[in-house]
Amino acid sequence: MNLKSRLNQNKKVLEEAADDFGHIIHELPHAVLQAQCTEDIRQVILLAQKENRQVAARGQGHSIYGQAQAPNGYVIDLRSLNKIYTIEGIELDLASVWVEAGVTWKELLDETLKHGLMPPVLTDYLSLSVGGTLSVGGIGARSFQYGTQTDNVLELEVVTGKGEVKVCSPKENQDLFNSCRAGLGQFGVIAKARIPLIKAPISLFWYHALYSDLGQFLADQIELTSTTPYRFDSVEGFAVPNSKIHLSSLIPGFSVAGTTQTELKGQEDIAFPEAGKWLFMLEATKSFDSRITSDETGPLEDLEELSILPQGGFVRKESLYNYLNRLEYQIKIAREAGLWQVPHPWLDVLLPHQQAQDFIQKALGELTLENIGNGVILIYALQASKLKTPFFNCTDSETPILFGVLRNAAPISQLQEMQAHNELLKERAVKIDACFYPNHIPGAQ
Tens-digit pLDDT profile for residues 392-405 = 988 889 999 999 99
Residue 254: per-residue pLDDT: 84
Q: In the chain, list all ranges with CATH 3.30.465.10.
A: 90-199
Phi-psi label, residue 302: left if phi above 0, alpha if psi -120 to 50, beta otherwise? alpha
Which residue, among 166, 170, 196, 191, has the nearest Cα to 87 in the 3D structure? 196
- How far is it, in rounded angstroms, from Cα 41 to Cα 47? 10
Question: Does residue 443 sit in helix, strand or coil?
Answer: coil
Domain boundaries 203-325, CATH class: alpha beta
Q: 20-54 pLDDT, tens per residue? A: 999 999 999 999 999 999 999 999 999 999 999 99
Would you state the pLDDT for residue 3?
Answer: 81
User: Topology of domain 3-77, per CATH?
Assistant: 3.30.43
User: Rounded CA gap, 214 and 112, in Å?
Assistant: 38
Distance CA 274, CA 375 (A): 24
pTM reported for the whole predicted model: 0.93
pLDDT value at position 292?
Answer: 57
Lowest mean pLDDT among 94-103, 163-172, 212-221, 282-291: 282-291
Minimum mean pLDDT among 74-83, 329-338, 428-437: which range? 329-338
Instruction: Give residues with Cβ within 8 angstroms of 368, minimum separation 6.
Output: 277
Which segments within 86-182 are labelled E, that is strand? 96-100, 117-118, 155-159, 165-168
Superfamily per CATH, domain 331-436: FAD-linked oxidases, C-terminal domain (3.40.462.10)
pLDDT band at 260 (very low <50, low <70, confident <90, very high): very low
Q: At residue 23, what are phi and psi to the nearest 5 degrees?
A: 55, 35
End-to-end CA distance of the chain: 44
d(CA 78, CA 59): 5
Tell whether the model's pLDDT for residue 265 goes beyond 80. no
CATH of region 90-199, choose from 3.90.1150.10, 1.20.1740.10, 1.10.420.10, 3.30.465.10: 3.30.465.10
Condensed to tens digits (0 to 9), the pLDDT of residues 309-357 reads: 999 999 999 999 999 999 998 899 889 989 999 999 999 999 999 999 9
The boundaries of every CATH 3.30.43.10 domain in the chain are 3-77
Q: Where in the chain is the domain with CATH 3.40.462.10?
A: 203-325, 331-436
* E runs forming strands in 246-312: 278-288
Strand ranges across the sheet with 347-351: 313-319, 203-211, 278-288, 234-241, 376-381, 401-406, 347-351, 435-436
Do 63 and 26 meet the contact criterion of CB atoms below 8 Å apart? Answer: no
> Which residues is 315 bridged to in the sheet?
207
Instruction: Find how far residue 162's CA is from the centre of its chain.
Output: 31
